[in-house]
Amino acid sequence: MTLVLDRYRLDPVHLGRGGMGVVWGAQDEKLGRRVAIKFIRFPDGMPDPELEARFTHEAKIMSRLAHPGAPVLHDFGSYQDPARGSRLLMVMQFVEGTGVDDVVAEHGPLPLGWVASIGAQVAAVLAAAHELGILHRDLKPPNLMLRRDGSIQVVDFGLALMDDPALTRLTRTGQQLGTAAYMSPEQVSAGQPTERSDIYSLGAVLHELLTGRHLFTGPSEYSVMDQHINARPVAVGQLRPDVPRALDELILAMLEKQPEDRPATAAEVHDRLMPYLAGTGPLGDMATPGSSPTRMYAHAISRTLTDGVRSSVPATMNAPADDQFSRSDIRLARRRAMSLVKESRYGDAADVLARTAAPASDNLGAVDPDVIGLRWQLANVLFDCQDHRRAAREFQRIADDLLRQAAPDHEQISQCRLQEATCHLHAGDPELALHIMRELLADETSRFPEDDARLLELRRQVGELEVGIGAVDQARSTLSNLRDDLTRLYGSDHGATIRVSELLASLA
């Protein structure tokens, strides 16, 4: 195995190859750690000063961006390759994980909670990059690495643009940089990219994670790029009815043709995704629950600098008197709660929402759309601050109130029940979660055809919960029937079929 710079022992096979670089895993023999080494790659085999400048540019960007969601740059320099001559290289943190494109290929459309989690994490990295004047410009599923603890790393800043007058734009005349399926309209038309260009690309990614297919498709890259400029995207809700309307509207807003019509900042996108961050059970062996130093660290930060500040919640946020209550009180409470969540003051945010929920229900009705939105936000904030049992009660109450309506919104009820089950699972009560999921499956079976994708997904989740509690015979029956149906519908080599087959094999 090749030894680079007298310390890095390269693996026998490279990890991946892009337009500008080849990445190898390696062992740092001096410090005894795993690293990733990215060597510059010249597509035609001839040295290219512009590619060398862009490669150096990427290293400068990575050296500035210090964030848990981006790889750490350990070193940068050149290596005298006996076969290829002098080659620039970057030595980076080795990221153990799976590309989100591979996650979708195996699991198909992802659960809402996972999409929200991935989107919110990426938005947080973008917010940090944008504060430094860095635009990624090539956000796409292969550049998002899902680690086993559920965290996301945003990788490959090879096309990133840094707002630094000392650096060149490094773009050939007429050259379009990016990946056609995720390029913003202004990138397609060679216009000036902005922070909102990254927001558009993230919207295209979220659309794909929810639907399992590209935002736009066509016979050529030109066709796809033309659609980014001229075609309206299909709303996710038309393809996947379980997506809440507000989430659907957020993604459509991120995909607006004019940058000024999109959310203003990545931080805003993060905040609007956070209410949907529930229902993130295991994704096969790609992401599994368990102790994680990253999660422990983040949890500690979320509880830091919050003690002794409850009194700073404005007195005006106390519950308004019944005769003075109005919808503006709901809007004010929700905005205030969102601000508190941004400060990681989840307990204070829950208090603000809870104090407003009771008079709101009394005056406007428990199932008024504005009141439901408030109660839904409360349940999600409780989930975020690890109060899973109280969050489960809130979701259950919302579902019960919706069910008593003359014309129940079954989609919303189903989402509440799914979130309730997720809360019990996180609270350490998988038996109760399984009971709720079985009830939900029975209800949904009466509403949809037997081959509906929603039923297939619920059956898989029920089977996984049965495996989790050790109900082997029940799990084998559930998963065997599901595998047969998936094979009939999609074939034996489809990702969903393979996943269920692997579960069955684990039972043997």
Q: Is 38 annotated as a binding residue?
A: yes
- Structure letter (DSSP) for residue 287: B
Contacts 24+ apart (CB under 8 A), 346-353: 346/302, 346/381, 346/384, 346/385, 347/306, 347/310, 347/385, 348/306, 348/309, 348/310, 348/313, 349/381, 350/378, 350/381, 350/382, 350/385, 350/387, 351/310, 351/313, 352/313, 352/317, 353/377, 353/378, 353/381
CA–CA distance, 159 with 135 (Å, rounded to integer): 9
Where does residue 146 rank: exposed (0-12), middle (13-18), buried (19+ CB within 10 A)? buried
> How far from 345 is each of 116, 265, 294, 312, 484, CA to CA, in Å?
20, 21, 19, 11, 48
H/E segment holding residue 139: none
**Rounded to whole angstroms, how far apart are CA atoms 127 and 137?**
14
d(CA 450, CA 485): 10
Find out whether 430 and 463 touch, Cβ atoms under 8 Å.
Answer: no
Measure the CA dihedral 300/305/306/309, to 10°: 170
**In sequence order, which residues have a C-beta less than 8 Å from that of residue 13 and are 6 or more positions away?**
none
The H or E element spanning position 193 is none
User: DSSP code of 143?
Assistant: G
**Local structure of 128: helix, strand or coil:** helix
Query: What is the torsional sign of CA 277, 281, 286, 292?
Result: positive
Structure tokens at 79: 């290596």
State the catalytic residue, choosing from 138, 248, 351, 401: 138
H or E element: which one contains 109?
none
In the annotation, is 138 catalytic? yes
- How would you write 25-61 as a 3-class SS string? EEEECCCCEEEEEEEECCCCCCCCHHHHHHHHHHHHH
Q: Residue type for 442, please?
A: A
State residue 257 phi and psi, 5-degree precision.
-65, -40
Count of C-beta atoms within a 10 Å radius of residue 218: 15
Which residues partner with 295 through β-bridges?
none
Supply 70's token pair: 């981006």
The dihedral over CA atoms of 172, 178, 179, 182, expressed in degrees to the nearest 10, equals -140
Residues with Cβ within 8 Å of 503's Cβ and at least 6 positions away in sequence, in order, are 463, 464, 467, 475, 479
Binding residues for ATP: 38
**Which residues does the annotation mark as catalytic?**
138
Binding residues: 38
